[in-house]
Protein backbone atom coordinates (compact mmCIF):
# COMPACT_ATOMS: atom_id res chain seq x y z
CA UNK A 1 0.00 0.00 0.00
CA UNK A 2 1.28 3.44 -0.86
CA UNK A 3 1.79 5.59 2.25
CA UNK A 4 -0.80 8.30 2.62
CA UNK A 5 0.42 11.79 1.87
CA UNK A 6 -2.28 13.47 3.91
CA UNK A 7 -1.37 15.72 6.78
CA UNK A 8 -0.50 13.94 10.05
CA UNK A 9 -3.59 13.17 12.06
CA UNK A 10 -4.27 14.13 15.64
CA UNK A 11 -5.73 11.51 17.96
CA UNK A 12 -5.38 10.43 21.53
CA UNK A 13 -1.83 9.02 21.37
CA UNK A 14 -2.70 6.07 23.57
CA UNK A 15 -6.09 4.78 22.40
CA UNK A 16 -7.11 3.61 18.93
CA UNK A 17 -10.46 4.98 17.71
CA UNK A 18 -11.46 1.49 16.50
CA UNK A 19 -11.01 -0.22 19.86
CA UNK A 20 -10.67 1.82 23.01
CA UNK A 21 -8.61 -0.92 24.67
CA UNK A 22 -5.67 -1.00 22.22
CA UNK A 23 -2.89 1.58 21.83
CA UNK A 24 -3.27 3.46 18.54
CA UNK A 25 0.38 2.84 17.60
CA UNK A 26 -0.12 -0.93 18.05
CA UNK A 27 -3.46 -1.05 16.25
CA UNK A 28 -4.45 1.07 13.24
CA UNK A 29 -1.68 3.71 13.05
CA UNK A 30 0.75 1.47 11.07
CA UNK A 31 -2.05 0.59 8.62
CA UNK A 32 -3.14 4.20 8.13
CA UNK A 33 0.46 5.31 7.61
CA UNK A 34 1.10 2.56 5.04
CA UNK A 35 3.79 0.86 7.17
CA UNK A 36 1.79 -2.37 7.35
CA UNK A 37 -1.01 -4.09 5.40
CA UNK A 38 -4.12 -5.40 7.15
CA UNK A 39 -3.75 -9.16 7.67
CA UNK A 40 -7.49 -9.85 7.87
CA UNK A 41 -10.66 -8.29 6.48
CA UNK A 42 -11.69 -7.27 10.02
CA UNK A 43 -8.37 -5.40 10.40
CA UNK A 44 -9.11 -3.45 7.23
CA UNK A 45 -12.61 -2.73 8.54
CA UNK A 46 -11.19 -1.32 11.77
CA UNK A 47 -8.63 0.82 9.94
CA UNK A 48 -11.31 2.16 7.57
CA UNK A 49 -13.43 3.14 10.58
CA UNK A 50 -10.42 5.04 11.93
CA UNK A 51 -9.90 6.67 8.54
CA UNK A 52 -13.52 7.86 8.53
CA UNK A 53 -13.18 9.09 12.13
CA UNK A 54 -9.97 10.97 11.26
CA UNK A 55 -11.04 12.17 7.80
CA UNK A 56 -8.29 10.26 5.94
CA UNK A 57 -9.90 10.23 2.49
CA UNK A 58 -6.80 9.02 0.66
CA UNK A 59 -6.59 5.87 2.80
CA UNK A 60 -10.29 5.18 2.28
CA UNK A 61 -9.93 5.45 -1.50
CA UNK A 62 -6.75 3.32 -1.55
CA UNK A 63 -8.43 0.56 0.46
CA UNK A 64 -11.56 0.52 -1.76
CA UNK A 65 -11.82 -2.07 -4.54
CA UNK A 66 -11.39 -0.39 -7.97
CA UNK A 67 -14.66 -1.87 -9.27
CA UNK A 68 -16.73 0.00 -6.65
CA UNK A 69 -14.43 2.87 -5.62
CA UNK A 70 -15.98 6.33 -6.03
CA UNK A 71 -14.13 8.81 -8.21
CA UNK A 72 -14.07 11.30 -5.37
CA UNK A 73 -14.86 11.27 -1.66
CA UNK A 74 -15.33 14.53 0.21
CA UNK A 75 -15.61 14.39 4.00
CA UNK A 76 -14.63 18.02 4.56
CA UNK A 77 -18.16 19.23 5.40
CA UNK A 78 -19.26 16.07 7.20
CA UNK A 79 -20.40 16.98 10.74
CA UNK A 80 -20.32 13.34 11.88
CA UNK A 81 -18.25 12.53 14.96
CA UNK A 82 -17.64 8.79 15.07
CA UNK A 83 -17.71 7.64 18.69
CA UNK A 84 -17.38 3.87 18.82
CA UNK A 85 -17.09 0.74 16.74
CA UNK A 86 -18.48 -2.66 17.63
CA UNK A 87 -17.66 -5.69 15.49
CA UNK A 88 -20.75 -7.89 15.59
CA UNK A 89 -19.59 -10.80 13.45
CA UNK A 90 -17.11 -11.67 10.74
CA UNK A 91 -16.78 -14.63 8.42
CA UNK A 92 -13.69 -15.77 6.58
CA UNK A 93 -11.34 -12.90 5.78
CA UNK A 94 -8.13 -14.50 7.03
CA UNK A 95 -4.78 -14.65 5.23
CA UNK A 96 -5.87 -17.93 3.63
CA UNK A 97 -9.15 -16.53 2.27
CA UNK A 98 -9.92 -14.46 -0.81
CA UNK A 99 -13.21 -13.06 0.49
CA UNK A 100 -14.63 -12.06 3.83
CA UNK A 101 -17.49 -10.22 5.47
CA UNK A 102 -17.63 -8.05 8.57
CA UNK A 103 -20.80 -6.88 10.26
CA UNK A 104 -20.35 -3.88 12.52
CA UNK A 105 -22.19 -1.15 14.37
CA UNK A 106 -20.70 2.34 14.45
CA UNK A 107 -22.09 4.92 16.85
CA UNK A 108 -21.91 8.57 15.91
CA UNK A 109 -22.97 12.06 16.86
CA UNK A 110 -24.10 14.93 14.65
CA UNK A 111 -24.57 18.00 16.82
CA UNK A 112 -26.91 16.96 19.64
CA UNK A 113 -28.27 13.99 17.68
CA UNK A 114 -26.70 10.59 18.23
CA UNK A 115 -27.23 7.45 16.22
CA UNK A 116 -25.86 4.17 15.05
CA UNK A 117 -25.17 2.64 11.68
CA UNK A 118 -25.04 -1.11 11.24
CA UNK A 119 -23.52 -2.50 8.06
CA UNK A 120 -22.53 -5.83 6.55
CA UNK A 121 -19.33 -5.12 4.61
CA UNK A 122 -17.86 -7.29 1.87
CA UNK A 123 -14.11 -7.56 1.31
CA UNK A 124 -11.91 -9.15 -1.34
CA UNK A 125 -8.24 -10.04 -1.16
CA UNK A 126 -6.24 -9.33 -4.32
CA UNK A 127 -2.48 -9.59 -4.74
CA UNK A 128 -2.16 -10.22 -0.98
CA UNK A 129 -4.08 -7.07 -0.06
CA UNK A 130 -7.56 -6.75 1.47
CA UNK A 131 -9.94 -4.28 -0.20
CA UNK A 132 -13.40 -3.04 0.72
CA UNK A 133 -15.91 -3.96 -2.00
CA UNK A 134 -19.31 -2.83 -0.77
CA UNK A 135 -21.62 -2.67 2.20
CA UNK A 136 -25.25 -3.31 2.98
CA UNK A 137 -26.69 -0.90 5.52
CA UNK A 138 -28.73 -2.89 8.03
CA UNK A 139 -29.90 -0.07 10.31
CA UNK A 140 -29.15 3.60 10.43
CA UNK A 141 -30.51 6.70 11.92
CA UNK A 142 -30.21 9.42 14.48
CA UNK A 143 -31.98 9.20 17.77
CA UNK A 144 -32.89 11.75 20.38
CA UNK A 145 -30.17 12.54 22.89
CA UNK A 146 -30.33 10.30 25.95
CA UNK A 147 -31.47 11.64 29.29
CA UNK A 148 -28.79 13.38 31.33
CA UNK A 149 -28.50 10.44 33.78
CA UNK A 150 -28.62 7.73 31.10
CA UNK A 151 -25.46 5.89 30.07
CA UNK A 152 -23.59 7.72 27.35
CA UNK A 153 -24.17 6.13 23.91
CA UNK A 154 -20.46 6.43 23.07
CA UNK A 155 -19.80 3.39 25.28
CA UNK A 156 -17.53 5.14 27.79
CA UNK A 157 -19.47 3.81 30.79
CA UNK A 158 -20.07 7.36 32.07
CA UNK A 159 -23.39 9.13 32.40
CA UNK A 160 -24.32 11.20 29.35
CA UNK A 161 -24.20 14.46 31.36
CA UNK A 162 -20.55 13.79 32.35
CA UNK A 163 -19.41 12.65 28.92
CA UNK A 164 -20.69 13.68 25.47
CA UNK A 165 -23.28 16.18 26.73
CA UNK A 166 -20.47 18.45 27.93
Q: What is the mean pLDDT of the chain?
A: 86
Mean pLDDT value of segment 82-92: 94
More confident residue, 82 or 159: 82
Percent of the chain scored above 90 by pLDDT? 63
Per-position DSSP letters for the chain, written without gaps between them: -PPP-SPPP---SSSBTTBTTS-GGGTTHHHHTTSS--SSHHHHHHHHHHHHHHT-HHHHHHTB-TTT--S----TT---EEEEEEEEEEEE-STT-SEEEEEEEEEEEETTEEEEEEEEEEEEEETTEEEEEEEEEEEEEEEPPPPTTSBPTTSSSSBGGGTTT-
pLDDT at 133: 98
* Lowest-pLDDT range of 9-18, 40-49, 84-93: 9-18
**Does the pLDDT at position 79 exceed 50?**
yes
pLDDT at 27: 94
Predicted structure pTM score: 0.78
Amino acid sequence: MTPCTEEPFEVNPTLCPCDRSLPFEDCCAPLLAGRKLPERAVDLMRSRYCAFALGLVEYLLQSWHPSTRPVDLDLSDDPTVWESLEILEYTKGSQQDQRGTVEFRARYRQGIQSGAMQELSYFRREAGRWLYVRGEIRTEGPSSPPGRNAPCPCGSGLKYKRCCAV
